[in-house]
A and B are shown apart, each in its own frame.
Chain A
């Protein structure tokens, strides 16, 4: 099955600086890569996703890049703000799937923004 590794496990950055979280996956057939943000005491929430037919996707201060050859993808947050402090999870899956969608999650990165 798929295996997703995520680094670093913790990350502290000064407010206004950029943060980068990296993930690698093992199954070359995986083609869908979402990122979820989990705030304290809440369930994870999708913030951005990318499919294997594109190399980069951007949404305001958040961007995700994908390198299919190396089987790794990264989350980039620019101009970080205190509300970016949370745990971030990467995930991978094969799509379309017939009947259900199973995501394999990374182990999470706790991001702390230092004011």
Chain B
């Protein structure tokens, strides 16, 4: 199992350009998440998807859109990149097993720089 995979690993954009970050998981999880990680601010939730066909905003959704393409794939799109979106982006997935167990599995991250 590859777990959670993200592409690309690194990306440099100019202000105003657009791009899509790809995420896929092979663990048959229902829930998927996009976070951004900035120095001194921890991990902040951008968007999440509880199941195929549903998406909801997290803490910092402005400037982003998402698509839950199918159960495996959850993409994050920046329509018009801004320097404030320079960050490391992590995708995660999870399966809620009620009270028994719970874990979010994270991908390796995409380091995005907007100049």
Give the B-binding residues of A (Cβ under 8 A): 1, 6, 9, 32, 34, 36, 41-46, 49, 51, 89, 95-97, 99-103, 105-108
In the assembled complex, the Cα of A96 lies from the Cα of B40 at a distance in Å of: 29
Q: Which residue from chain B places its CB closest to the CB of A91 in the assembled complex?
A: B43
- CB contacts (< 8 Å) of B51 on chain A: these are 99
A100 to B50, Cβ gap below 8 A? yes
B106 to A43, Cβ gap below 8 A? yes
Give the A-binding residues of B (Cβ under 8 A): 4, 31, 40-45, 48-51, 54, 56, 58-59, 90, 92, 94, 96, 98-99, 102-104, 106-109
B90 to A107, Cβ gap below 8 A? no
B90 to A44, Cβ gap below 8 A? yes
A100 to B99, Cβ gap below 8 A? no
A97 to B96, Cβ gap below 8 A? yes
In the assembled complex, the Cα of A26 lies from the Cα of B70 at a distance in Å of: 35
A101 to B104, Cβ gap below 8 A? yes
B45 to A102, Cβ gap below 8 A? yes
In the assembled complex, the Cα of A111 lies from the Cα of B104 at a distance in Å of: 22
Nearest Cβ on chain B to A110's Cβ, whole angstroms: 10
Which listed residue, B31, B44, B109, touches A43 by the CB 8 Å rule? B109
A-B residue pairs, 4 tightest by C-beta: A43-B106, A100-B50, A99-B50, A107-B42
A101 to B96, Cβ gap below 8 A? yes
Q: Which residue from chain A places its CB closest to the CB of B94 in the assembled complex?
A: A101
In the assembled complex, the Cα of A45 lies from the Cα of B50 at a distance in Å of: 20
In the assembled complex, the Cα of A32 lies from the Cα of B92 at a distance in Å of: 18
